[in-house]
């Protein structure tokens, strides 16, 4: 079973995201029930098939399902497709996550979410690097796929492309099957979140605030103590 845990906060509430995605279902910890993810005609929405790589979901201000992701395909709360990370990233890469897909709300903007997931030229071939990608989702704009519905995938770019020119490359090495991991902090006192992305030998920290992602970048050795990266 593939679980997509979202240990991050929504922009509107101080509580943890209560929606956990599973294979064709999601668990709402508010009421303790498991629900089926909404489906639509496969030509315009989710077909109900489980994730082969990773999945995740996000709640709205009331704790209800807002949107969900299955193998890089993003769907709204009724199962209509919003976009596909692979379609807008690179013609040679699939972006559908390895061990996880992270969703990070932009502080101060309840309509914008950032999505971090791994991409690869061939997920079945461990000789290809797993590279972290960053996507921007804006729920205030109309969809490019289902024009009458809100939710637009703005972009999906390699994290490498937004690093400072003097930064050590973040792209993963072909050492293990799932070598891109992501974590995000709760909303901090300065109304920002820290996002951590690791590859086999490096840990990167990004600061996300109301200006977007990233506001600043720092690099740490993974053996540093927790106090060093707080």
The pLDDT score that the predictor gives to residue 109 is: 92
State residue 6's pLDDT score. 41
Tens-level pLDDT at each residue, the chain (230 residues) = 333 434 444 333 334 567 777 667 777 777 777 888 899 999 999 999 988 888 999 999 888 899 999 988 999 999 999 999 988 776 667 888 877 889 999 999 999 999 998 887 676 666 677 788 899 999 999 998 988 999 999 988 888 888 877 777 776 555 455 567 888 999 999 999 999 988 777 788 899 999 888 644 444 444 333 333 33
Instruction: Name residue 182's beta-bridge partners.
Output: 197
> What residues are paired with 194 via a beta bridge?
207
Phi and psi torsions of 85, nearest 5°? -60, -35
pLDDT of 14 reads 38
- CA dist 213 and 137 (Å) reads 12
Going 37 to 117 to 187 to 111, the CA torsion angle's sign is negative
C-alpha pair distances (Å), 6 with each of 19, 136, 143: 8, 16, 24
Residue 112: half-sphere exposure toward Cβ, Cα within 13 Å: 14
Matching residue, tokens 């992270």: 102
Q: CB-based burial of residue 91 (10 Å sphere; 0-12 exposed, 13-18 middle, 19+ buried)? A: exposed
Question: Do 118 and 131 contact (CB within 8 A), yes or no?
Answer: yes
Pseudo-torsion of CA 145, 146, 148, 151, nearest 10°? -70
What pLDDT is recorded for position 95? 86
Report d(CA 79, CA 150) in Å as an integer: 12
Residue 90 has a pLDDT of: 66
The DSSP secondary-structure symbol of 219 reads E
* β-pair partners for 2: none
Whether this model's pTM surpasses 0.85: no
- Please tell me the chain's helix, strand, coil percentages from 3-state DSSP, rounded to the nearest 5: 5, 45, 50
pLDDT, position 91? 64
Distance CA 94, CA 120 (A): 5
Q: Please, which residues have CB within 8 angstroms of residue 31's CB and are 6 or more apart in sequence? A: none
Q: Which pLDDT score, from 0 to 100, does residue 23 have? A: 67
pLDDT of residue 62: 86
* Residue 206, both tokens: 């990004």
């Amino acid at each position: 079973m593939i679980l997509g845990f979202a240990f991050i906060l929504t922009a509107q509430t101080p509580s943890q995201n209560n929606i956990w995605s599973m294979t064709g279902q999601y668990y709402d910890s508010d009421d303790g029930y498991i629900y089926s993810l909404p489906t639509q005609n496969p030509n315009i929405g989710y077909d109900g098939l489980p994730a082969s790589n990773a999945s995740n979901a996000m709640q709205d201000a009331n704790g209800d399902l807002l949107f969900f992701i299955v193998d890089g395909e993003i769907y709204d709360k009724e199962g209509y497709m919003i976009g596909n990370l692979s379609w807008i990233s690179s013609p040679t890469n699939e972006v559908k996550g390895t061990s996880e897909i992270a969703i990070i709300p932009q502080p101060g903007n309840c309509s914008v979410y950032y999505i971090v997931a791994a991409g690869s030229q061939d997920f079945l071939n461990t000789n290809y690097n797993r590279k972290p990608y960053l996507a921007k989702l804006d729920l205030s704009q109309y969809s490019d796929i289902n024009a009458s519905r809100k939710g637009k995938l703005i972009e999906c770019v390699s994290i490498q492309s937004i690093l400072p020119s003097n930064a050590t490359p973040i792209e993963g090495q072909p050492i293990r099957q799932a070598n891109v991991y992501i974590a995000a902090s709760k909303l901090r006192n300065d109304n920002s979140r820290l996002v951590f992305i690791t590859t086999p030998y490096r840990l990167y920290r990004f600061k996300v605030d109301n200006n977007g992602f990233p506001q600043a970048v720092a690099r740490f050795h993974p053996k540093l103590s927790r106090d060093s990266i707080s």
